Amino acid sequence: MKAILSIAVGGPETLTLGELPIPPLGAGQVRVAVKACSVNYPDLLVIQDLYQFKPPRPFAPGSDVAGIVASVGDGVRTVRVGDRVLAACGMGGMTEQVVVAEHACIGIPETLPFDVAAALLTTYGTSQYALQQRARLARGETLLVLGAAGGVGLAAVELGKAIGARVVAGASSAAKIAVAMEHGADEGVVYPAGALDRIQAKALADQFKSACGVNGADVIYDPVGGDYTEPALRAIAWDGRLLVVGFPAGIPRIPLNLPLLKSCQIVGVFWGAAAARDPALFRSQLAELLGMYTRGAIRPLVSERFPLERAGEAIACLAGRQAIGKIVVVP
C-alpha cells in the first residue's frame, strides 16, 4: 500500500512516497481504509527525531485518521465492516490503510465529512482536555488563547465559548484574529511575528493586560511558546492557570518569580499520553465532541487539503506557522 515515509531524520523535504506492507490484523483490532488524515505539529517533530517517541524507520507520520472499517479482528464488538469511523492511530496515518485498537476507534455520523472528522481529534481533544481536566475553566472566567487561529488554538476558542468563558484571542495577523472572532472570540490582540526584544515584550504584556481586563486572564492557553509566553504570563490573574501545550516558537524561559507573585499555576498538557492511560476518558471526550459538532457548538475549520503524495508539503505548510485551522491529507 502507498504511504508517505520518513526514511531519514530531517524536515518535510525528506519525506517520500513509497510502499508499506498491509499491516496484519490481530484480535481486538480494526483495519481502517483511510479517507483523511489530519496534520499536527507532532508530525513535524517526529520526522526530526524531536518528539517524545522515536519510531523505527521507515515509518509514516500521521496520528488522526477518518475512514471506513475494512475488516475487524476477533472480539471486536463496537464497530463493523463498512462503518464510518474516527481513529487515533498514534503513528502511520498518512497511508492507505491503518490498524488501530478497537478502543481507539469510534463511529461517526453520515453528516460528518471525513476531512472534518480527522481535523477534530487531536486539536479538539487536546483543547478539551486542557480546558476541562487541566485548567478547570469555569463559566464567567477569562481565557487568553495564543495562536488562536491555528488548529488547537481555534478549538480552544470554540470550546472556551461553549464553557461560557470570555475569550481573548492572540495571533500574528489581523486576518487570523478575524477568523478567531468568527469562531467566538470576544476580543483580539495582534502580536509581532518572530523574536521579541525587551521593549516589544513589555508592550505585548501591556496589550494582553488591557484586553484581559483588570483582573487578568484566569486561564492562558499557550500552544506557541517562545517569546510570547512570558508577556502572556504577566497578564495572568491571581490563582490563574497557564496551560503549556506546545512550542513551535521555541521553549520559553520563565522567570519563576512571576508564578510566585500571582500565586498561579503552570500546567502541562499532554493529551495523547493521557488518552492512552485512560481509554474510557478518551472515548467519553470524543463522544462529547461529536455531540457538540452535531449541535453546531463547534465548527472545525479545514483550510487546506493535500493528496497523499504531497503530504510533505502539508507538513511544511504547518511548520511555516501560516496555517489557519486544520490541514488535512486525503489519500
Please write the tens of the pLDDT for every residue from 274-294: 988 998 888 899 999 999 999
Write out pLDDT tens, residues 183-229.
Answer: 999 999 999 988 999 999 999 999 999 999 999 999 999 999 999 99
pLDDT in tens, 243-260: 999 999 999 999 999 999
Residue 321 has pLDDT above 80, yes or no: no
Q: How far apart are CA 313 and CA 315, in angstroms?
A: 5
Amino acid at 126: T
Judged against a pLDDT cut of 80, whether residue 322 lies above it is answered with no
CA 36 and chain centroid, separation? 16
> For residue 115, with 0-12 CB atoms within 10 Å meaning exposed, 13-18 middle and 19 or more buried, which class applies?
buried
pLDDT for position 283: 87
**Could you tell me the sign of the dihedral formed by the alpha carbons of 146, 149, 152, 158, in that order?**
positive
What confidence tens digit (pLDDT) does each residue in 118-177 have?
999 999 999 999 999 999 999 999 999 999 999 999 999 999 999 999 999 999 999 999
User: Is 112 in a helix, a strand, or coil?
Assistant: coil
pLDDT of residue 52: 82
pLDDT at 114 exceeding the cut of 80: yes
User: Using CA atoms, how far apart are residues 59 and 31, in angstroms rounded to an integer?
Assistant: 17
Question: Band of the pLDDT at 237, cuts 50, 70, 90?
Answer: very high
The 10s digit of each residue's pLDDT in 45-103 is 999 999 888 899 999 999 999 999 999 999 999 999 999 999 999 899 999 999 999 99
> Residues 6 or more apart from 214 whose CB is under 8 A from it?
none
Q: What pLDDT shows up at residue 51? A: 87
Strands (E), the chain: 2-6, 15-19, 29-38, 64-72, 84-88, 97-101, 105-107, 142-145, 166-171, 187-190, 217-222, 236-244, 265-268, 302-307, 326-330
* Band of residue 35 on the pLDDT scale cut at 50, 70, 90: very high
**Helix (H) / strand (E) containing 273:** helix 271-277
Q: What is the pLDDT of residue 256?
A: 95
Give the model's pLDDT for residue 15: 97
The x, y and z cell numbers of residue 308, run together, are 497523499
Residue 53 has a pLDDT of 83
**Whole-prediction pTM:** 0.93
Q: Read off φ and ψ for residue 222, nearest 5 degrees.
A: -120, 95
